[in-house]
Structure 1
């Protein structure tokens, strides 16, 4: 009786349905390094690799083969700080047309090199992006690429751990085309200091001609949820120093990094 009275009294109420998030197989953030340790040709190859991978039929087929047949994807570039003008905001991909639209938006972004390498800043920014979409993914993934260790901002392990605690998988794409003379084992660094979460993996790029195929292979693994390849890490040597990049930067440069604001 009380329930009926409640209904009668509320006949004039503005009752709105509760919004339901769209189900998807994965929410994927692509966080791409544009620090000046890479040259203009490598910038162009990296950007083209992502554009080609998202347009590729194998990637689109992997998306459509999922339980929901759709993913949500966002993209941004970073160096010592996140380059907010590079952000391509969340878009659902569920067809060749939607994949092409995202790839076209990405291809149209201006790009350039910037100072510093803050993987931690990229991970924290990527972590925050998951609060700003209307998608409910079965998995949440940050795919971070880079060609050097974290050397600015908070320690990278803390940012990784914050992402993992939020239920996010962090995967890595270490670029080892021109290894740093002070830090040559970037694959080990990514394996021990950057990636995290159940099923996380990293896929190194060791030559220029690997860009397109490696990026496509990695994105297909991420959207399909397939078991990633085994990570082969050199057994010899001391454990990786996850703060070595910060120590090297402060030894060679002004620790206040005023150039990042330029």
Structure 2
């Protein structure tokens, strides 16, 4: 793969707290975001003209749902959207193993073989960590390796989840956490988050 401005791993919660309908809203919202003209254009707007994106599903176990794809405009972004739409829900529902999910995302970034100006792990979910290695030390490992970790908290089940993500998940240059009320609001929230991440941390209306 040619050098990119950003390598972005999207780590998505598929634990038991995410039911079939919520999974559909989340994945549909994520895919739909990359069909937006402004997001596709932002992917190609940097000095290297492209970003690389992968998608990781995490629960008690983790699976790469979409391997690294280079996004350099609308056609490639649409291909990524189709790949997200068609990704099976693997692994099966389990615990909210946030720390192991983050570690798997960092591992995926560590295996990215091309040159990237920025490395970002984008974590989204609806529950606090409840199994496996704690997220805080995992976050610290990522920050030490030059990764920025951002988060999107879905507050439908745990209204104080944003604080947990701010304390235990996010870190690195320009790191931020956002929230949305429920999965019906996920599509709009992930679009705002991706605009900010792809734009280098700048808040875009």
Contact residue 126 and residue 155 of structure 2 kept, 8 A: yes
Question: 1:209 & 1:110 partners in 2: Cα distance?
Answer: 21
- Are 1:75 and 2:50 matched, yes or no? no
* Structure with bigger gyration radius: 1
The residue that corresponds to 2:14 in the other structure is 34
Unaligned runs of 5+ in 2: none
TM-score under structure 1 length normalisation: 0.74
Q: CA deviation at 1:154?
A: 0.6
TM-score under structure 2 length normalisation: 0.93
CA RMSD in angstroms comes to 1.6
Question: 2:201 & 2:121 partners in 1: Cα distance?
Answer: 16
Unaligned runs of 5+ in 1: 1-20, 230-262
Of the three residues 104, 107, 115, the one matched with 2:82 is 104
Q: CA deviation at 1:128?
A: 1.1
1:26-65 map, 5 Å: 26-65=6-45
- Are 1:171 and 2:150 matched, yes or no? yes
Q: CA deviation at 1:114?
A: 0.6
Structure with higher strand content: 2
The residue that corresponds to 2:135 in the other structure is 156
Note the alpha carbon deviations across 1:60-113, whole angstroms, 9 max, x for none: 11112212120011001111121x2x5211010002111111111111112275
1:65-214 map, 5 Å: 65-82=45-62, 84=63, 86-111=64-89, 114-179=93-158, 184-214=159-189
Of the three residues 182, 190, 200, the one matched with 1:215 is 190
Question: 2:201 & 2:129 partners in 1: Cα distance?
Answer: 29
- Are 1:24 and 2:4 matched, yes or no? yes
Question: 1:192 & 1:228 partners in 2: Cα distance?
Answer: 21
